[in-house]
Structure 1
Amino acid sequence: MKRLFPFCAVALLSACNGGESNHALQESPQKITQVSFDEQGFRTDIATLSSDKFEGRAPTTHGEKLTLDYLSAAFADMGLIGANNGQFLQAVPMVSYTASEQQQVNLAGIEMQYRQDIVLSSRHNQQQVTINDAPLIFVGYGINAPEYHWNDYQDIDMTGKIAVILVNDPGFAHPNDKKFNGNAMTYYGRWSYKFEEASRQGALGAIIIHDTKPASYPWSVVENSWTGPQQDLVLNKAEQAKRVQVEGWLTLDSATRLFDKAGLSLPALMDRAANSPLNVDLAQTASIAFANKADYADSYNVVATLPGSSQIDEHILFTAHWDHIGVDTSKTGDQIYNGALDNASGTAGILEIARQFAKQAKAGHGLKRSLTFIATTGEEQGLLGSRYYAANPLYPINKTVAVFNLDSTNVYGKTKDYTIVGKGQSELEVYLEKAAATQNRVTTGESNPASGGFFRSDHFSFAKLGVPAVFAGGGTEPLDEATAQYKAAMSEQMKGCYHNVCDHYRADWDLSGALQDLAVYYHAAETLANTQDWPGYYASSEFNSLRPAK
């Protein structure tokens, strides 16, 4: 079968299955506990975590300290157990790279303006980045995928060269040609993969051409997210040495000027790159210079467990990232990225779910399996906290049954449908479908699969290891006309607020849809936790070989 990830080694198969057979999904109806979520408590958590006091919750800042204290106190009040030898915090060794705003960037003789035309950074511990006359090579989508018979780096030595790369993958450009996964982005379309592959190819640098439609977000998101301190996990020396010296993004207009200077048509090359693997020497060079610094500090995941009764060593995880972008003092006016929707709302969601399960356990209605709640750090910088936990789990991965991830809950009111991002991956979705059906809702895939949502949040760190993981919630069809009108008005208010300073808490949010979704996760987890089922990935999934459905 097709396998998307060269790093998903076959050796992981036994580790992910842990010697356990995947039981067939139980067909007998499960008892559903009636729970009443506390909307006011949910609102209070969102409002508090996204308040100015928490300073945008950037990792390794004072805002992180406030967040960790708040979450630890909340879990302790519920009676949950700290998963790290009784402690709620799991240290995540991180390094923060800060590139100077004063960058000298010359591509093909064209002076590029920082933020306006380009953003660059370096994930190396060096005080000055200096590159002189490095050849620029257009490498199409920057993909090396043997299972798709695709290699944009074929017959080229990238040593000392800078790769110029298109965003997304060929399936987006030509969805009817059955290339890759059509309009649904594969991991090969993600920026993280492109920088990783350029590093594996020995490139000196990698620059992605931003294009709003295939990226699924505007240049403002790149500018806000890729400037200022950039956190990453601490790598060993060998891993660090293989990483490109510079990485970043170039606007489409600036890229067009670059290709014009090279006597080439960017639109024509984009079309060629979508049809077949491609690399073209632009016969132009890049000179880059900027100051850089690296600061090392631990950030933390918050990990709390509600022990099960009889299958205590088997864990169902709930994840949500507590972090956001922090503060940008270079901005005039509002400088705080409060991150109310993304992701104070998701963090508040796992708190509310945990409270309800804890109440049920105290009332004598506990679960057979254990539940573990992980508020992760560094998601906005590349799923750092979840990646670290997956590599350094407090409970064995082969005893991790499933992952339910919350990232930006529904603030637009109740819906008739329920969206499962990347729908069709695993049997875990069956539990969501049954829980949603009790609300008379039907499950659907996301409306824009080209955005690659399945690869953009913390559940993906576990999917890569074969743990069935879902990212779901909300829907596209409002419950009634009044909700539709509210949604249209609120969507207009929220327009442009993704990764922007206007993502702050609004007292007039209709959170009834979010509470609907919390109930779906709650009941899906409740059902699974009282069975011996081990859901797996379907044969059509990239992860089937790691934990197959049966």
Structure 2
Amino acid sequence: MKKIIPFIVAFGLVMTAHAQKDETAVKYAETITVEDLTDDLTILASDALEGRETGERGQKMAAAYIREHFKSLGLEAPVSIEGGRSFYQSVPLYTNVPGETFLTVGDKNYENFGDVVHIGSGGTKTNEGLEVIYGGDGSEEATADLKVAGKAVMIEAQGMRSWRASAERLKEEGAALLLILNAPSDEVFATMAVQLKGYLSGGRLSIDKPEDSSNDNLEVFFVSPSTAANILNLNLEQLPELKEGSIKKIKSKKIGYSVSSVLKTVESENVLGFLEGTDKKDEIIVLTAHFDHVGVNDGKVYNGADDDGSGTSAILEIAEAFVTAKNEGHGPRRSILFMTVTGEEKGLLGSGYYVANPVFPLANTVVDLNIDMIGRVDPEHKDNPNYVYVVGSDKLSTELHIISESTNSTYTQMDLDYTYNDQNHPDRIYYRSDHWNFAKNNIPVIFYFNGVHEDYHQASDTVDKINFEMLAKRAQLVFFTAWELANRDGRIKVDITPESGSN
């Protein structure tokens, strides 16, 4: 792959030198304005839309706004439904929502999200009379001499993820329950419990119906320091001594637990608008952005202005530009599918559902141009906001990368930053937005992104912080690129073998 890049860049520069502006394209790109983007985003990222949580009222209000925009433009509703056509592609999602769950120590029940937090499988499960043994930091060395089969094991772990390897090993050895002490104080644990409640109480959404695996998995409870001390028959002040190894014998209390969950179906939807092409109408250019965000947490609305109200607003205005062009006799040769997807924040669910249930054959899908966060300037570019991160353009198609470079050089002259395009970049951005579901189906993609900023996934991601001039310019770059891909004679070829390392 590395040997190909210099050739691509060199060839792209040669093409760029001879590229001529299409004044017709310029005319319609100029209809993508700061004013219109501001109007769209002010609505999509308003408090009234309640953070657009997947499947919730605010997300459905956003879907209705997008649908009405597509409808007003005269785009076709492409989804077949009983009795007609729809702009909505229904996306059924499933989740296991925690039911009554508690840990019992003696005659006291510790309720979930109070002094304990349950992390575990779906279904219903109870156990009682369990002996508790202390397993240090949970490492193989610390638990090597312990007979864990049928017992509850308490370990101390740093952070939220370091315990998973221990859990897998202890499960294989027959442990009945894992207790994790990972907070230095009850106050820290209380804060953690509130955060986890917001994350876990809604359940984890999936496009696949979860099976009841409650009998297969090791149940896990995080416990507060005072709860741990009670279980181990120690004073709170003795816990540090336990970790240091100065307490050799522990006479713990026997414990039990009860966990339950309820399967819940969440109805959500992708919103699709279709613009039919002319002589190459069976080939489809797809433009995507996700319109969901993370909802309301602790009474605060997470508006998601940049993530991804900015991309959604761009889709709306790019669609309007193409429709205006078609109405004036300059419609695209290839068809264009404008698609705002749901559930990106929950694991790329809406786009995943689409590629598994495509409205148009994936074999006819030429490219996906995906827009996720294009309204801000990240710290690395504070002195030069005229940029956009480009990811994926060179992963599957030599021609696509050349077209991307040439289009930018001809029309928008931004700095195209390929930092996140690096296969070895720790953030692995290529795999983290909706384009990935197309790429893993061997469909070329470009992902447009402004980078991460301090308001990412915070209640402070609000409209007043958007750089609308750059939002408009980046949206115009996507328009120009789509224009070229929709109107060129030949369909771009897939001629690059995907790199290893995909997830």
1:39 aligns with 2:39: no
SS at match of 1:513: helix
SS at match of 1:515: helix
Cα 1:327/1:295, change in 2 over 3 Å? same
Deviation string for 1:470-498 (max 9, x for gaps)? 2223379xxxxxxxxxxxxxx6xxx3x33
1:452 is matched with which residue: 409, 428, 436? 428
**Contact 1:415–1:474 (CA under 8 A) maintained in structure 2:** no
1:360 aligns with 2:334: no
Cα deviation, residue 230, structure 1: 2.9
TM-score by structure 2 length?
0.67
Distance in 1, matches of 2:178 and 2:483, equals 45
Distance in 2, matches of 1:535 and 1:344, equals 31
Instruction: Give the 5 Å matches for 1:87-126.
Output: 87-99=86-98, 104=102, 120=118, 124=122, 126=123
Distance in 1, matches of 2:96 and 2:369, equals 31
1:511 aligns with 2:468: yes
2:343 corresponds in structure 1 to 378
SS at match of 2:463: coil
Which ranges in structure 2 are unaligned for 5 or more consecutive residues?
2-10, 140-148, 183-191, 230-239, 246-253
Distance in 2, matches of 1:512 and 1:248, equals 49
1:315 corresponds in structure 2 to 284
Cα 1:229/1:41, change in 2 over 3 Å? same
1:52 aligns with 2:51: no
1:64 is matched with which residue: 55, 59, 62? 59
Instruction: Please tell me the residue identity of whatever aligns with 1:229.
Output: G
Cα 1:137/1:454, change in 2 over 3 Å? farther
Cα 1:432/1:208, change in 2 over 3 Å? farther
Deviation string for 1:11-56 (max 9, x for gaps)? xxxxxxxxxxxxx999574654112112111111111112121122
Cα deviation, residue 512, structure 1: 1.5
Distance in 2, matches of 1:474 and 1:519, equals 15
Instruction: Please tell me the residue identity of whatever aligns with 1:363.
Output: E
Cα deviation, residue 81, structure 1: 0.8
Deviation string for 1:276-311 (max 9, x for gaps)? xxxxxxxxx997644432322421111111111111
2:402 corresponds in structure 1 to 430
**Contact 1:99–1:122 (CA under 8 A) maintained in structure 2:** no
Cα deviation, residue 387, structure 1: 0.8
Instruction: Give the 5 Å matches for 1:50-449.
Output: 50-85=45-80, 86-99=85-98, 104=102, 120=118, 124=122, 126=123, 128-130=124-126, 223=196, 226-235=199-208, 289-328=258-297, 331=298, 334-412=299-377, 415-421=385-391, 424-427=394-397, 428-438=400-410, 439-446=413-420, 449=425
SS at match of 1:81: coil
Deviation string for 1:511-547 (max 9, x for gaps)? 212222112211122111224223444453568xxxx
1:175 corresponds in structure 2 to none
2:492 corresponds in structure 1 to 533
1:498 corresponds in structure 2 to 456
Deviation string for 1:147-203 (max 9, x for gaps)? xxxxxxxxxxx99999x999999xxxxxxxxxxxxxxxxxxxxx9xxx9xxx9xx99
**Contact 2:207–2:349 (CA under 8 A) maintained in structure 1:** no
Instruction: Please tell me the residue identity of whatever aligns with 1:61.
Output: E
Deviation string for 1:304-337 (max 9, x for gaps)? 1111111111111111111122234xx2xx4322
Cα 1:419/1:297, change in 2 over 3 Å? closer
Question: Which of the pair has more CA radius of gyration?
Answer: 2
Distance in 2, matches of 1:286 and 1:30, equals 76
What's the C-alpha RMSD, in Å, of the aligned pairs? 5.2
SS at match of 1:472: strand
Distance in 2, matches of 1:95 and 1:287, equals 29
Cα deviation, residue 64, structure 1: 2.8
2:447 corresponds in structure 1 to 471
Cα 1:311/1:235, change in 2 over 3 Å? same
Instruction: Please tell me the residue identity of whatever aligns with 1:226.
Output: Y
SS at match of 1:315: strand
SS at match of 1:466: coil
TM-score by structure 1 length?
0.62
Deviation string for 1:369-420 (max 9, x for gaps)? 1111111111111111111111000011111111111112232386344312
**Contact 1:122–1:292 (CA under 8 A) maintained in structure 2:** no
Report how many residues are paired: 427
Distance in 1, matches of 2:65 and 2:347, equals 24
Identical amino acids, percent of aligned pairs: 26
Cα deviation, residue 84, structure 1: 0.3
Cα 1:388/1:411, change in 2 over 3 Å? same
Distance in 1, matches of 2:181 and 2:499, equals 31
**Contact 1:473–1:517 (CA under 8 A) maintained in structure 2:** no
Distance in 2, matches of 1:407 and 1:90, equals 20
Which ranges in structure 1 are unaligned for 5 or more consecutive residues?
2-23, 141-157, 170-190, 211-218, 266-284, 477-490, 544-550
Cα 1:65/1:47, change in 2 over 3 Å? same
Cα deviation, residue 68, structure 1: 1.9
2:187 corresponds in structure 1 to none
**Contact 1:46–1:340 (CA under 8 A) maintained in structure 2:** yes
SS at match of 1:232: coil
**Contact 2:303–2:461 (CA under 8 A) maintained in structure 1:** yes
Instruction: Please tell me the residue identity of whatever aligns with 2:419.
Output: G
